Amino acid sequence: MVKIQVPATTANVGVGFDCLGIALNLYTYFTFEETDEFSISGCEERFQNEDNLVYTSFLKALAYLKKEVKGVSIIIDSNVPVSRGLGSSATCVVGGVLGAYELTNTAIDKEAILNICTEIEGHPDNVAPAIYGGLMASYQSEKSVISVPYLVDERFHFLALIPDFETKTEEARKVLPKELPFATAVRNSAKLSVVLKGFEMYESNILSEVMSDEVHEPYRKPLIHEYDEVRAICEEIESVCFYISGSGSTLMNVMRDTEQVEAIQKRLDKLEYGWKCVMLDVDRAGASLC
């Protein structure tokens, strides 16, 4: 029997659409045990079947490794909310793939695991930090995935603002434009290069200046109820920068002063959509045995 923990992630990080992601210290735990037949528990009953993403990812990895198990019992214990832009599907993919490696006593090859997970997930922005931890920038070519780490100063904290409604990734992608003006693309790429250094060097003023995205957030904001109200509250009380986590519905407020969380929550309590503050820090280890 093996037990694995996989961190939640916040993808895009403003101007890093489909290429940046940060692992956070909020976890899903997966227990795998070889048995005579398949079973899965710890998730909603509608997911307790062979179409479960953890199980299909587990099978995908077994096929890659050319290994077999008679059957498997999977127990899921998740603290990561579903369809809220915190990488819940990525935790399932990484957990399933890593579970196949561990249950078959296969040496861990994170580069191979990244490629398998990206093939399943479709893009690496969430799975890369879930595997490696920290802030990861990724590029997906036709042949492989290249992911490199960047530092985030430990004095930055990530306040996840989680509402009581979901945002589906496929719906959030439908609203994106087919084309962008050349000048917009240039500005966003310039901002991205500066944002990475801002996180590393604890440059709050830089992040405040260059985090405004022009590629995806303007089109996704209308999908998130009370976006403007939540942002205004954070920026009035304490905010280094503010962005949509993944495709939403969670909004992320990067902070220095964690003592202001209660003040933000009190203001959010007056809104309609049940916003809850969850203070998080960067997970620097990534997926691991526990």
Residue ranges at the known binding site for ATP: 81-91
Measured between alpha carbons, how far is 108 from 74 in angstroms, rounded to an integer? 20
Backbone angles phi, psi at 21, to 5 degrees: -155, 150
> Residue 28's closest CA among 86, 84, 100?
86
Same domain flag for 126 and 169: no
Measured between alpha carbons, how far is 139 from 137 in angstroms, rounded to an integer? 7
pLDDT digit string, tens, across residues 133-152 = 999 999 998 888 999 999 99
What is the reported pLDDT for 170? 81
Same domain flag for 173 and 58: no
Alpha-carbon distance values, 20 to 122, 138, 179 (Å): 14, 7, 21
pTM: 0.95
Same domain flag for 183 and 139: no
Alpha-carbon distance values, 9 to 23, 28, 63, 274 (Å): 4, 11, 27, 22
**What's the CATH code of the domain at 163?**
3.30.70.890
* Confidence grade of residue 246 (pLDDT, cut at 50, 70, 90): very high
What distance separates the 2 farthest-apart alpha carbons in the chain?
Answer: 59
pLDDT digit string, tens, across residues 44-89 = 888 899 999 999 999 999 999 999 999 999 999 999 999 899 999 9
Same domain flag for 65 and 169: no
Same domain flag for 138 and 7: yes
What is the reported pLDDT for 121? 94
Same domain flag for 115 and 235: no
pLDDT digit string, tens, across residues 14-40 = 999 999 999 999 999 999 999 999 999
**What's the CATH code of the domain at 81?**
3.30.230.10
pLDDT digit string, tens, across residues 114-134 = 999 999 999 999 999 999 999
Same domain flag for 210 and 125: no
The count of domains in the chain is 2
Domain of residue 23 covers 2-150+284-289
What is the reported pLDDT for 116? 97
Same domain flag for 276 and 177: yes
Same domain flag for 10 and 52: yes
Alpha-carbon distance values, 66 to 101, 118, 144, 194 (Å): 11, 19, 20, 43
Measured between alpha carbons, how far is 191 from 198 in angstroms, rounded to an integer? 10
Same domain flag for 115 and 168: no
Within a 10 A sphere around the Cβ of 172, how many other Cβ atoms? 20
Same domain flag for 132 and 168: no
Residue 168 has pLDDT above 90, yes or no: no
Same domain flag for 166 and 231: yes
Helix (H) or strand (E) holding 71: strand 71-78
Q: Which stretch of 92-96, 164-168, 169-173, 217-221 has the lowest confidence by average pLDDT? A: 169-173
* Confidence grade of residue 42 (pLDDT, cut at 50, 70, 90): very high
Residue ranges at the known binding site: 81-91
Class of residue 75 by CB neighbours under 10 A (exposed 0-12, middle 13-18, buried 19+): middle
